[in-house]
Chains A and B, each alone.
Chain A
Amino acid sequence: MLIPLILLALGAVFAGSIFYDAFVGHHAKEFWGSSIYTAPDNTVLKDKYSIPGWVFYAPLVVMVIGLAAALYFYLFNEGLGKKIADRKGMAHAFLENKWYFDELYEIVFVKGARALGDFFWKIGDGKLIDGLGPNGIAAALNFGSKKAVKIQSGYVYHYAFLMLIAAVALGAFVLFRGA
Chain B
Amino acid sequence: MENTISEFGKVFIFLALGVVLVVGGFITSRLLRPFRPNTEKMTTYECGEEPVGSSWVQFNIRFYVIALIFIIFDVEILFLFPWATIYKQLGTFALVEALIFIGILLVGLAYAWVKGDLEWVRPNPNVPQLPTKKFEKMPARPEASLLSLVESITPASASESSLPKV
Question: Do A and B truly interact?
Answer: no
